Amino acid sequence: MATYIVQRVLQMVPVMIAASVFSFAIIFLLPGDPALLMLGDQLASNREVYEAKRAELGLDRPVPIQYLDWLGKTVRGDLGTSTRDKLPVTRGIADRLPVTLELTVLAMLLAFVIALPTGIISALRPNSRWDIASSLLAFVGVAVPHFWLGILLIYALAVAARVLPASGYVPLSEDLGQNLLRMLMPAVTLGLGLSAILMRQVRSSLLEVLRQDYITTAQAKGLRPRLVVMRHALRNSMIPVVTVIGLQVGLLFGGAIITESIFSIPGIGRWAVDSILQRDFPVVQAVSLVMAIGVLSANLVTDVAYAYIDPRIHYR
Amino acid sequence: MTIQQPTATDLGPALSATVMRETSRGVSAPLRRTSFKTVRRLLRTRMTPFALAILALFALMAVFANQVQRYDPINYQSYASANQGPSLEHWFGTDYLGRDTWSRLVHGSRISLFVGVISVGVGLILGVLVGVSAGYLGGKVDALLMRCTDAIWAFPALMLALAITSALGRGVVNSMIAIGIVGIPFYARLARASTLAAREFDYTLAARALGASTPRILARHILPNISAPLIVQASLGLGTAIITEASLSFLGVGVQPPTPSWGLELRTGYQYLELNPVVAIIPGVLIFLTVLAFNFLGDGLRTALDPRLARGS
Amino acid sequence: MNRRQLLKNVTLGGIILAGMPLLEACGPAAPGAPAKPAEAAKPATTNQPAGQPVAKTVAAGAPKRGGQLNIVVQNDWVTFDPPFNTAEPNGSNMIFGSWMNWLSDATGSWGPRPDMVAEWDAKPDSLTLKLQSGIKFHDGTAWDAKAAKWNLDRLIFHPASGLRASMRGVDVATEDQAALDKLKAEPNGPFTFQSKAVEVVDDRTVKIRLSTPNASIVSSLSGTGAAPVSPDAYNKVGKDAFGRNPVGAGPYRFLEWQSGSHVTLERNPDYWMKAADGQALPYLDKLTYRLIIDDTVRLLELRSGSAQFTELVQGKDVAGMKNDANLTLVESQASGNNYRVIFDSTNPESPFRNVKLRQAMLYALDRDAMAKTLGFTSGLARKYLSPKGSLGYDETEQVPFYAYDKAKAEALVKDAIAADRTLAGPDGKIAFTFSVIDRAVDKAQSEMIKQMGEQVGFAISLETLERAAWTAKLVKRPGQPGGKFDMASMRNPVTADDPDGQWRQFFHSLGSFNVAHVDDKEWDRQIDEAAATLDPQARKPLYLNLEKKAYDQAWYGWLWQQNWNWAFNKKLANFQEPVTNRWSFTEAWLM
């Protein structure tokens, strides 16, 4: 087991390096001049100031050196300064990441709350009308473009019916009620697709487990019926479900991008989009790296957890 | 949200190898011979005929767009009749420049479907190249290719696509490249896992022992065996690609005006939500139906191509 | 960002509807605050002489104290330090106050009013400012001649100051070059440069020496970009930190700025200005400015009541707003967001090196249709650079302008192709790229323009760019690629203020947004001449002449404007129609 973990971690290292290279390289792909953007038009027209800035940013050195320099700084926690608001990027991340995390967690919670009961009932009554209906709904849930869902929700609940505020974000520390109220539609938008996938997964893994010999044996032995058996079955069937969640982290981050844009939530997804579009290079580099690390870590945890539970699975 | 139904391969390369080994043992010949049975099985799967019907409808709409449209989707602008709701004249109403929404959506199907097919094609071809090479050659090549693929996969798809289109420039072509690149990891991993399994089959080993050249082995033994899961994945991937294209257009970096596309119309609908909500609803419905159809199709294909059933019938 | 600078320079001006009688009154004959002959109203504030601001909304009942006003804004903040701010100054005027304020009076004429400067005297060779007494900055330091001089020196001499162009004419000949070089080398530290051009006359008076007359210096000082800041606070923390922790003398104190999210201001209990009845101002406890970029969402916030104020409601939403019983809309034709096109006549590969083709394109555009389709009821087609009410505007409309004439456009295109076959492609059409900023209205406009242009013989491909990329493409920089395009569109706030700002920005060879790459000594000379002529009667023909020249050259095309508007909840009482984005809540309250 320990070897497996070590192996996986070691595996992750080159991937992280590759990811860091991509994150860094992005600024060379995106057209636009970082020095120019940081100085602003007026100062940049002064040749000396411009050259000095380029030297300060290290843009006149060979690319691999720049990369190593950036990497060194990053590892030490210096992620640079945003060209737009002149604040350290770390501060920007510290402000925005919790918001996105809250959105993602709420979406996952919501997905779970929907998927668990639906999936269980479907598994207990396979091929019944309920099962067919919920399977259909699951398909639908996956197919709905989530930003369309967001727009529809805004129109229905905020424009037409006026029951919910359309947008904005109130920090948790400030007002829990307002915060949740405003996160409701975004969480639903983000979580619905996930709930569809989860529902299918709950159903199929529960069905799988229920077919196992030990369940039939337990039932034959006269163990209190479904409820008790359910507990065992449920516990074992949750593993693939949890791993699926872990693997969806990357997709949730991606979904958060548009959701945050539509609902004006100051999270890291929207920050990433704005930074890409406005060529805020330090932010783009840092946020890409953070997201990549987040996804990779989630995968690592998922894989290890899975391997822990199911000793059959060990990487060759 | 680029959500895919989790396949076995998503649950870890080792697991997938096991599954592949299990399910592929029965298939020792190219799919050609059982294709008729496959099609029959496909059609018998519950929702597949419905899916095929929808896709056929949209495909026809795309191909015959010029005949089905009622006004020129780009050049017919009538400022006096802008932002109208549905009427006999304009079935889905008009947009902010007085253009006929129905015509724009009909032409939009061309772009959306075209982008979907090409980007999946790009991702599939490149992904297969990478995955088969990694799986077949193994060793350092495998390690290098897979690390890079994993690194691409670590970035949220939409963000990566956004960065690539920003780098290459906005527009349809670059969107297709971006979406294609973003999809590579899915197909690469799948191809690799299947290749790993197929590499160990008896007849493959035999062919190698007999001195068959690598291209021949790849063509006759490896590729046919990996095609089944790839086809399923591609079908699901088409739905994802269409949503990603719509997302990029929604953010403004995909299809550029005045070319119509479903994603772009959705963006317009969002901006004019109060004046003309129809434009916000209909494109979403179309995207939704298309993705739904592709998902049903993928599901049906998965059932149809499952060799366990092949043994049975 | 050059457009932002433009906005700053423009808002420095303010509005003059009736022309320059006020500045005239400020001339050699009458020191002290101007008094318009028609006014007889009692001073509404104890510190202001005749001619007070008039509220545009009816104040119901007595002012109520307290409460928080939630404002939603469209643009993100860059810094709160006025001369370095290249973005919208939302909230800035409430933190800082101003040297002079621009307000309208009962007759509807706009002009400078005393604010932190009680009296001023504008002469051809100097500007003397007599400061209001009893004002303290938020950190307790005094507003006196020393602080005023420090601020002026910074505006005029700091290398990154956005006001350098408008503070033209200041006599810089006698300055200490070594000190200036030191300043250039270390621009971000404490500001210690002491100029010779700005003199401290006594404890409450400063005098700026001018080497050339500057007719717009008062309007420049009245803008948000010139607002006075606390020298102590700035010198303590330096340029960047001060921009995030501004200290001014305005009615509200800076509380916090959450990047990309919101800014909060709290009431300044020691604010110097008093209400008509002697009550302390301001009435509101807190102001929050929240950033919501999307127009639709901003309006939804207003509707749902979670915000009470916003500006620049899009034309398409104005109609819907009028139906809402809780909201009210104030609109002004005197200021607007002006949409215009620009041609690169210096690009040897562009068809627009040919003036006839530029003219053809301008004849091909139906400005009324654009105003109506894109601006709805708030759209107004434009003929000239200067808007109605400006000194430089020709009310008689004798100066030629471009109007929609499809036949003429087609003829011009045909003639051009006949004269030079290489202009047209194999399809017989003249092809070019139209570069557009990624904004909803700009993109919709570009689709209209494309269609109109293609009807007269052009083949247009639309290119959408982000602001940064668009600026990089258009602006020429030493040693940088860029500065080559065919046609581009932009939008720019214009008010009926001092015309110099607009002409200088776009047509002067040193103009800060001269994207048409105009480099003509004669143009420069005429622009400078108009700026240095103090007599409005003599100034006006000079500007009309510039309009004619602009028409002849057709480097820019004036399209239409979206009238500026402000939408707010009816609960907000006593809100005065401001100059574009300098909304003042000094005397407003929530009912």
Does position A161 have pLDDT exceeding 90, yes or no? no
- Dig out the tokens for C376 from the structure: 């709805």
Q: Which of C203, C178, C204 is nearest to C192 (CA)?
A: C178
Amino acid in the structure at residue C336: G
pLDDT band at A5 (very low <50, low <70, confident <90, very high): confident
pLDDT for residue C148: 94
Q: A31: which chain B residues are within 8 Å (Cβ-Cβ)?
A: 167
C450 touches chain B (CB under 8 A): yes
Average pLDDT of the residues in A259-285: 84
User: Hey, are the CB atoms on C444 and B77 less than 8 Å from each other?
Assistant: no
Give the number of C-alpha atoms closer than 13 A to the C-alpha of residue A4, restricted to the C-beta side. Answer: 19
| pLDDT-wise least confident of A188-197, C477-486, C539-548 | C477-486
Helix or strand holding residue C544 (H, E): helix C536-553
Q: How many CA atoms lie within 13 A of B28 on its CB side?
A: 9
| Contact: C304, A165; criterion CB under 8 Å | yes
Least confident of B287-291, C226-230, C501-505: C501-505
CA distance to partner chain B, nearest, from residue A222 (Å): 34
Contact A85 C472 (CB under 8 A): no
Q: Is B250 on the interface with C (CB under 8 A)?
A: no
The 10s digit of each residue's pLDDT in A68-106 is: 888 888 888 888 887 777 778 898 898 888 889 899 889
Q: Which of C155, C180, C237, C261 should be substituted to probe chain A, the one whose Cβ sees the most A Cβ atoms within 10 Å?
A: C261
DSSP code, position C492: E
pLDDT of residue C55: 42
pLDDT at res. A312? 60
Total beta-carbon pairs less than 8 A apart between chain A and chain C = 99
- The rounded distance, in Å, linking the Cα atoms of A84 and C263 is 16
Residue A61: CB partners within 8 Å, gap ≥ 6?
A69
- Who's near C223: CB < 8 A, 6+ residues apart? C8, C9, C11, C12, C13, C14, C98
Interface list for A 282-311 with B (CB within 8 A): 284, 288, 291-293, 295-296, 303, 306
| C159 to A86: CB separation less than 8 angstroms, yes or no | no
pLDDT for residue C50 is more than 60: no
Query: Which DSSP category does C170 fall into?
Result: B
Q: What pLDDT is stored for residue B12 in this prediction?
A: 36
B252 at C interface, C-beta within 8 A: yes
- Whether omega for the bond prior to residue B260 falls within 30 degrees of 0, making it cis, is no
| A71, burial (CB in 10 Å: exposed 0-12, middle 13-18, buried 19+) | middle
Q: Report chain C residues whose CB lies below 8 A from the CB of B75.
A: 451, 454
Compute the average pLDDT of residues C294-304: 77
Asked if C451's CB is within 8 angstroms of B79's CB, the reply is no
DSSP C172-218: -TTS-HHHHHHHHH-TTS------SSEEEEETTEEEEEBSS--TTHH
CB contact under 8 A, A254 and B156: yes
**Interchain CB distance below 8 Å, C316 and B252:** no
The more confidently predicted of residues C191 and C324 is: C191
Task: Calculate Rg over the CA atoms of chain C.
Answer: 24
Enter the DSSP assignment of C266. E
Locus of tokens 């047209």: C424
Output the six-digit token pair for B51: 């899916």
- pLDDT confidence tier of residue C1, bands split at 50, 70 and 90: very low
Give the lowest-confidence range in A129-133, A174-178, B133-137, C379-383.
A174-178
Dihedral of CA atoms C453, C455, C459, C464 in degrees, nearest 10, equals 40
Pairing of strands C262-267, C556-569: unpaired
B257/C451 Cβ within 8 A? no
C86: which chain A residues are within 8 Å (Cβ-Cβ)?
A: 40-42
The residue with greater pLDDT, A29 or C340, is C340
| Interval C453-465: pLDDT, tens | 999 999 999 998 8
The answer, yes or no, to whether residue C502 has pLDDT greater than 50, is: yes
Q: Are A41 and C5 in contact (CB under 8 A)?
A: yes
CA-based Rg of chain B, rounded to a whole angstrom? 22
- Tell me how many degrees the CA angle B301-B226-B121 measures, rounded to the nearest 5: 75
Residue C436 has pLDDT above 60, yes or no: yes
Q: Report how far residue C432's alpha carbon sits from residue C343's, in angstroms, rounded to the nearest whole number.
A: 11
* Strands ordered across the beta sheet of C126-131: C117-122, C126-131, C205-209, C198-202
Instruction: Identify the closest residue of chain B to A148 by CA–CA distance.
Output: B284
A138 interface with B at CB cutoff 8 Å: no
pLDDT tens, position by position, C77-109: 878 999 888 777 788 888 998 898 877 666 656
Facing A277 at nearest CB: one of C304, C306, C466: C466
Q: Is C440 on the interface with B (CB under 8 A)?
A: yes
**Rounded Cα–Cα distance for residues A226 and B98 (Å):** 62
Per-residue pLDDT band for C507 (boundaries 50, 70, 90) equals: very high
Question: How many Å apart are CA C230 and CA C207, to the nearest integer?
Answer: 19
Q: How far apart are CA C20 and CA B102, in angstroms?
A: 55
Name which of B2-11, C6-15, C368-377 the model is least confident about.
B2-11
∠ CA(C111), CA(C117), CA(C120), 5° rounding? Answer: 70
Q: Which residue has the higher pLDDT, A40 or C521?
A: C521
Euclidean distance between CA atoms C9 and A233, whole angstroms: 71
pLDDT beneath 50: ranges in chain B:
1-33, 310-313
Least confident of A42-46, B44-48, C190-194: A42-46
pLDDT category, C399, cuts 50, 70, 90? very high
pLDDT at residue A182, rounded to an integer: 83
User: Mutation test of the interface with chain B: which of A23, A151, A263, choosing the one with the most B Cβ atoms within 10 A?
Assistant: A151
Out of B147, B239, B251, whose CB is closest to A273?
A: B251
Partner B contacted by C538 (CB < 8 A)? no
Residue C370 clears pLDDT 80, i.e. is over it: yes
Residue among C129, C108, C111, C309 nearest C207 (CA): C129
The answer to whether C160 and A46 are in contact (CB under 8 A) is no
pLDDT of residue C291: 84
pLDDT, position B177: 93
Q: Does C258 touch chain A (CB under 8 A)?
A: yes
Whether residue C45 has pLDDT greater than 70: no
- Chain C closest-CA separation from residue A233 CA (Å): 47
Of the residues A12, A110, A142, the best mutation for testing chain B's interface (the one with the most B CB atoms within 10 Å of its CB) is A142
pLDDT (mean) for A269-287? 85
| Confidence (pTM) | 0.78
> Does C372 contact B271 at a Cβ distance shorter than 8 Å?
no
Q: How many Cβ atoms from other residues are within 10 Å of residue B49's Cβ?
A: 14
A56/C contact by beta carbon, under 8 A: no
| Consecutive H or E run containing C383 | none
Name the one residue in this structure whose structure tokens are 């002959």. Answer: C37
Among C372, C446, C454, beta carbon nearest to B79: C372
Q: Report which of C483, C480, C481, C531 is spatially closest to residue C505, judged by C-alpha positions.
A: C531
Instruction: Find the CB nearest C477 among A44, A87, A167.
Output: A44
CB neighbour class for B220 (10 Å; exposed up to 12, middle 13-18, buried from 19): middle
Question: Quick check: A315 and B15 CB within 8 A?
Answer: no
The verdict on A212 touching C (C-beta cutoff 8 Å) is no
Select, from the ranges A40-44, A82-86, A214-218, C90-94, the one with the highest average predicted confidence (pLDDT).
C90-94
Q: How confident is the model at residue C259 (pLDDT cuts 50, 70, 90)?
A: confident
> In chain A, what is the straight-line distance between the N-terminal and C-terminal CA atoms, in Å?
13
Q: State whether C466 and A271 contact (CB < 8 Å).
A: no
pLDDT band at C39 (very low <50, low <70, confident <90, very high): very low
**pLDDT for res C403:** 93
Contact C353, C347 (CB under 8 A): yes
As a whole number, mean pLDDT of residues C535-541 equals 88
Q: Is the pLDDT of residue A41 over 70?
A: no
Task: Tell me which residue has tokens 């307290």.
Answer: C66
- Hey, what amino acid is at C358? R
Beta carbons of B257 and C317 less than 8 Å apart:
no
pLDDT digits (tens, 9 = 90+) for C58-74: 456 788 888 899 999 88
| CA gap A283, A288 in Å, rounded | 8
* CB proximity A78 to C under 8 Å: no
Lowest-pLDDT choice from A23-32, B132-141, C104-113, C578-587: C104-113
Exposure class string for C487-509: b at 16+ Cβ within 10 A, else e: bbbbbbbbbbbbbbbbbbbbbbe
Chains with 3+ CB–CB pairs under 8 A to A are: B, C
Residues in chain B closer than 8 A to C373 (CB atoms)? 79, 82, 96-98
**pLDDT score recorded for residue C48:** 28
Q: Which helix (H) or strand (E) holds C455?
A: none
pLDDT reported for residue A78: 84
pLDDT at position C343: 95
Q: Side-chain half-sphere of A247: how many Cα atoms within 13 Å?
A: 27
Confidence of residue C44 (pLDDT cuts 50, 70, 90): very low
Residue A259 has pLDDT above 50, yes or no: yes
Chain C residues within 8 A of B97 when measuring between CB atoms = 373, 444, 447-448
C477 touches chain A (CB under 8 A): yes
- The nearest CA of chain C is from the CA of A132 a distance in Å of 38
Chain B: list its partners (3+ Cβ pairs within 8 Å).
A, C
**B81 and chain C in contact, CB less than 8 A:** no
Query: Is any Cβ of chain C less than 8 angstroms from the Cβ of B97?
Result: yes
A169 vs C contacts (CB less than 8 Å): 261
What are the chain B neighbours of C295 within 8 Å (beta carbons)? 271
Nearest CA in chain C to B254: C464
Rounded to the nearest integer, the mean pLDDT of chain C is 82
- Asked whether the beta carbons of C377 and C319 are under 8 A apart, the reply is yes
**C137 versus A164: which is more confidently predicted?**
C137
Tell me which amino acid residue C37 is: P
Question: Cα(A191)–Cα(A187) distance, rounded to whole angstroms?
Answer: 6
Torsion of CA A174, A270, B5, B293, to 10 degrees: 120
A46/C159 Cβ within 8 A: yes
User: Contacts of residue C316 in chain B, CB cutoff 8 Å?
Assistant: 83, 96, 272, 275
Lowest mean pLDDT, pick from B220-234, C12-26, C62-76, C231-245: C12-26
